[in-house]
Amino acid sequence: MADVIKLLPDHVANQIAAGEVVQRPASVVKELLENAIDASATEIKLIVKDAGKTLIQVIDNGVGMSATDARLSFERHATSKIASAEDLFQLQTKGFRGEALASIAAIAHVDMNTKRSDEEVGTYIHIEGGKVVDQEVNVMPKGTSIAVKNLFFNIPARRNFLKSNNVELRHIIDEFHRVALTHPDIHFELYNNGGEIFNLPSTNIRQRIVHIFGNKTNEKLVPVEEDTEVVKLSGFVFKPEFAKKTRGEQFFFVNNRFIKSSYLNHAISSAFEGLVKDQVHPSYFLYLAIDPSSIDINIHPTKTEIKFDDEHAIYAIMRSAVKHSLGQFNVAPILDFERDPNLDTPYDFEGKKADMPTIEVDANFNPFEEEVNGGSNHKPSSFKKEKSSDWESLFVGLDEGSGQDDFSSIEMESEVVTGSLFDETNEEESSAVTFQLQRKYIVTSIKSGMVVIDQSKAHQRVLYEQFLKDITVKEAVSQQLLFPLNLKFSKSEIGLLKELKESLENTGFMFSNFEEDSVEVGGIPMNVSESEVGGVLDQLLADFKEEVPENGFSQTDLLAKTLSKTLAVRTGDVLNKASQEALVHNLFACKEPNLSPFNRPTFVTMTANDLDKKFM
């Protein structure tokens, strides 16, 4: 029998390796930015076109490479970061495998220009599909410029699996954020299709967070500091009232490397226990400095997962440090019966010496001067004896009147109705009989028996079809605000709102002005109250970040689903009779009354036969 095992050709092996390292344009961005940082660059510029499908270029002012190093850098397992297996446990650099450039070059057209500071000329290399097509000498400033063009040009199946430009650009921005947040001392720039998205000057960590996520972020941050033998922890957490329904702004960095860890995330969540609602996640930017020999970062191709030697200790330290910070800055409630808040020292006065009080004495003051002088008109300014007013006038008229209390104008408080979906109508004119059960279900009768309706899911269906109609027909009614609302968002959220602007205006929203980190809302839909606008838009942005629709139809569908979920009545809301009956009528007037927008049943029926069987 013939041998069946063969060695794969190099270009095939490189394409297979590229599938692990390069999953989308954002993967290329991550690898190139990390290489620029390892080259000791202080200024890094990222340029993308068509969300990286056409061009990804990273320009840095790092140390550069010689002609030999430039050519060798595109070979598999060629690296300057490690020399032996022991070096894997003392890593101080971003990359170390020596696979990134080889994998990228195998599936794209790559142009590299590089020059060292001690050389007069640089090197230009052009590679197509892993093969060096051209290499020559060129003139350029110190540093390296790598341009990756036509990604996946020789693997059309992988290229077809890429998402829309908006989706891929969002992934690129996420990777850009992760790298920029770990190195605030480096000046970063990001350009897409010729337009500047980010220009982040060299600064400290707090200002870098503010520059990326908007000026409103500064007031949300609570500093966290803890230095132990196991780990040195620093960074910031958001105040509990700014917790979000998504995990978007959650960042762990270990030795200046972004990681994902559900275990450590649970430590932060437990520190916020009792301070945030269910299904809400706190945001944080936490930096861990750990001995490289106590971690293993070589367990995942993208190096975003790390194995710790002592996870339990790090968990306990992080949990206690975050709790301490929340309590120290009076974010978390405290219980201290002996504490007098008047004795608290503000942080601005910490370390300052107390000022000695001064005493001023009026030498001319004499409390008996009026009596001594026997009616003298002179009275000291510091001592006045006021004459009492006619107190008898306070009691004039109390004896008048009938002597009987009149309570006819007093209104007694009745049961509070928390939800009213529709205008009040005469209940006697309605023939249907409905009642609310457990403040969750609406029960009504039909010819064959009765119907039990879930009020929240039913209202979601009604609102969903209404919003779909409004967006499609573009005839939504908007209520104008006397004083426009100014809402703060991050740059990426502002970009997403601009994408959704037309669809949102079709539902009744009106945006009068878009700024870099804020938006002005001048009109809102009729069924949205002014106090709900911020929550509605936050939930909308959260859902779009999670699902990221790729076309207009799915965008409209997700928009209608989010609005209906946010604005529908909740379990526990009390509905009056008119609202109950109107909800029943509107539900069965829908095109698909059986299911909510999220494919949950809206009602169940019980026939008379079903009831008879219960009594057999």
DSSP string, 57-87: EEEE-S----HHHHHHTTSTT--SS-SSGGG
The C-alpha atoms of residue 605 and residue 597 are separated, in whole angstroms, by: 20
Q: Are residues 223 and 172 in the same domain?
A: no
Average pLDDT, the chain: 81
The verdict on residue 301 lying in a domain is yes
Domain shared by 242 and 194, yes or no: no
Three-state helix/strand/coil letters over 150-166: CCCCCCHHHHHCCCCHH
Helix (H, G, I), strand (E, B) or coil at 616: coil
Report the distance separating Cα 499 and Cα 386, nearest Å: 71
Q: Please report whether residue 429 resides in a domain.
A: no
Same domain, 473 and 528: yes
Calculate what percentage of the chain has a pLDDT beyond 70. 78
Instruction: Indicate whether 381 belongs to any domain.
Output: no
Contacts of 306 (CB under 8 A, 6+ apart): 254, 257, 259, 261, 295, 296, 297, 299
- Is residue 172 domain-shared with residue 216, that is, in the same domain? no
Binning pLDDT at 50, 70 and 90, where does residue 278 land? confident
Predicted confidence at residue 445, as pLDDT, reads 87
Task: Please tell me the distance from the alpha carbon of residue 509 to that of residue 486, in angstroms, as a whole number.
Answer: 13
Q: What is the CATH number of the domain that holds 599?
A: 3.30.1370.100
Question: Total structural domains in the chain?
Answer: 3
pLDDT band of 364, cuts 50, 70, 90: confident
Same domain, 496 and 516: yes
**Considering 200, 226, 245, which residue would you say is the last residue of a domain?**
200
In a domain, 62, yes or no: yes
- Residue 4 tokens read as 């069946």
pTM to 2 decimals?
0.68
Residue 150 confidence (pLDDT): 92
Token pair belonging to 600: 């949950």
Domain contains 3 = no
Angle, nearest 10°, between helix axes 165-182 and 205-213?
Answer: 170
What is the structure's pLDDT at 161?
83
Is the domain of 292 the same as that of 167? no
Residue 357 placed within a domain: no
pLDDT over threshold 80, residue 343:
no
Per DSSP, 360 falls in state -
Instruction: Give 216's pLDDT tier (boundaries 50, 70, 90).
Output: confident
- Listed in order, strand segments (DSSP E) in 195-278 are 195-200, 221-227, 232-238, 250-254, 258-259
- pLDDT of 417 reads 57
Question: Are 162 and 168 within 8 A, CB to CB?
Answer: yes
**pLDDT score, position 428:** 45
**Confidence at residue 82, expressed as pLDDT on a 0 to 100 scale:** 56
Domain range for 542 is 434-604
Summarised one tens digit per residue, pLDDT across range 530-565 is 888 888 888 788 777 766 555 556 778 888 888 888
Same domain, 158 and 219: no
Q: Is the pLDDT of residue 323 over 70?
A: yes
Tokens of 465: 């079809």
Domain boundary among 200, 218, 251: 200
Least confident segment among 109-113, 168-172, 244-248, 599-603: 244-248
Among residues 171, 200, 229, the one where a domain terminates is 200
**If you write DSSP's letter for every residue of 441-477 in order, what string do you get?**
EEEEEETTEEEEEEHHHHHHHHHHHHHHHHHHHT---
Structure-model confidence comparison of residues 154 and 76, the more confident one: 154
Classify strands 449-454 and 603-607 as parallel, antiparallel or unpaired: antiparallel
Q: Do residues 472 and 546 share a domain?
A: yes
Q: What is the mean pLDDT of residues 307-318?
A: 87
Cα–Cα distance list, 434 to 19, 381, 577 (Å): 60, 76, 7
Please choose, from the candidates 22, 41, 21, the residue with its C-alpha nearest in 3D space to the C-alpha of residue 179.
Answer: 41
Distance CA 491, CA 517 (A): 6
In a domain, 344, yes or no: no
Whether 186 and 217 map to the same domain: the answer is no
Mean pLDDT of 486-513: 83
pLDDT of residue 616: 79
pLDDT, one tens digit per residue, over 377-421 is 554 444 444 555 566 666 666 555 555 555 555 555 555 555 555
Give the domain CATH number at 301.
Answer: 3.30.230.10
pLDDT at 277 over 70: yes
Q: Could you tell me if 127 and 152 lie in one domain? A: yes
